[in-house]
Amino acid sequence: MKNALELNNISKSYQDGEGENNILNNISLEVKPGEFVAIVGPSGSGKSTFLSISGALLSPSDGSVMVGGTELGKKNKKKLVKIRREKIGFIFQSHHLLPFLTAKEQLTLVQKMNKNNGKSDLRAEDMLADLGLAECADKFPAKMSGGEKQRVAIARAFMNDPDIILADEPTASLDGARGRQVVELIKKEVKKHQKAAIMVTHDERVLDLVDVIYRLENAGLKKVVNQ
């Protein structure tokens, strides 16, 4: 089975005065379709940098990133934007919903941006129903609960049928019960549609829901054997 995402010997460093700050050092990771991976580690350990490199938002100082067998380092900015739109779905700490769009419109906008309007209304309705949001289709964010808004954000991430889902602290703004529900929904969609997913999290209460846990610390990545 071909990996959905491969990071090969990734390093990232920044100039810090006269010295150099190594954020990531020679990190490699493979994620297969249908695999749900968690990245944990202390604040400032480079988790967000790691996720940004995985999602083609940031280039590594060294190493290569491959999405579905395509090496990102060989793509120009225009092609990277296309890959992000079509191959990668992002779920952030904050839902980042547009206040002037309904839940359904948040989703159809994604496909309109990709000039793929053929069945966008039907797909949006199906995605919302799948996440228990059918009654929210015509609601604006101001009328939704925190959990509902985050679920809409999950539906939006899956809207374009991406190969990879990247979730940055998706439970940060939710209480324990709602946070777990959100991660359960991500897992459900990952398994149902055979997507690869990486979740950066501090929430140890949801780690039993993932397939593999890695710890990012001191610029290195290590697999956590005992969940």
pLDDT of residue 101: 94
- Local mean pLDDT, 10-residue blocks, the chain (227 residues): 88 81 91 94 88 90 88 83 86 84 90 64 83 90 88 86 89 78 87 92 90 92 77
Q: Which two tokens stand for residue 65?
A: 């990133």
* Total of domains in the chain: 1
Predicted local confidence at residue 40, as pLDDT = 93
Q: Given this model, what pLDDT does residue 25 score?
A: 92
Report the pLDDT value the prediction gives residue 33, as an integer from 0 to 100.
93
pLDDT of 117 = 52
Q: How far apart are CA 206 and CA 167, in angstroms?
A: 13
State which residues form the domain around 49: 5-224
**CATH number of the domain where residue 173 is located:** 3.40.50.300
Given this model, what pLDDT does residue 93 score? 75
Rounded to two decimals, what is the model's pTM? 0.86
* Structural tokens at position 211: 């397939």
Q: Roughly what angle, to the nearest 10 degrees, separates helices 120-130 and 103-113?
A: 130
Contacts of 227 (CB under 8 A, 6+ apart): 207, 208, 213
Please tell me the predicted confidence (pLDDT) of residue 146. Answer: 83
Residue closest to 159 by CA, chosen among 205, 113, 219: 113
